[in-house]
Structure 1
Amino acid sequence: MATGPRYRVPFRRRREGKTNYRLRRALVLSKQPRLTVR
C-alpha cells in the first residue's frame, strides 16, 4: 500500500499555465469586489 505523497501535483490551472497566480493573488488581496460580467 502506498503511504504519503511521493510527489506533489500542482493545481491543474498551474500545470496548464493558464492562470497567472501572482496577478490573481494581487487581485484577491486588493479587496476589490471580484465580479465577472456575463
Structure 2
Amino acid sequence: MVYDLSVQEFVQLIKKGKKNLQKYLLRISILRSETTI
C-alpha cells in the first residue's frame, strides 16, 4: 500500500480527531446527565 500522508500529517489528524472526540464525548455525557435527571 502507498501512503500519501506523511507521518507528521497523520499525527496531526489523529490529534485533531482526539480533540474532536473528547468534545463529542463531553457533549454526550452532558446530554445523558440532563436526560437522566
TM-score surpassing 0.5? Answer: no
Range class of TM-score, shorter chain: 0.3 to 0.5
Greater RCO (Cα-Cα under 8 Å, separation 6 or more): 1
What TM-score do the two structures reach when normalised by structure 1? 0.34
Higher helix content, 1 or 2:
2
What TM-score do the two structures reach when normalised by structure 2? 0.35
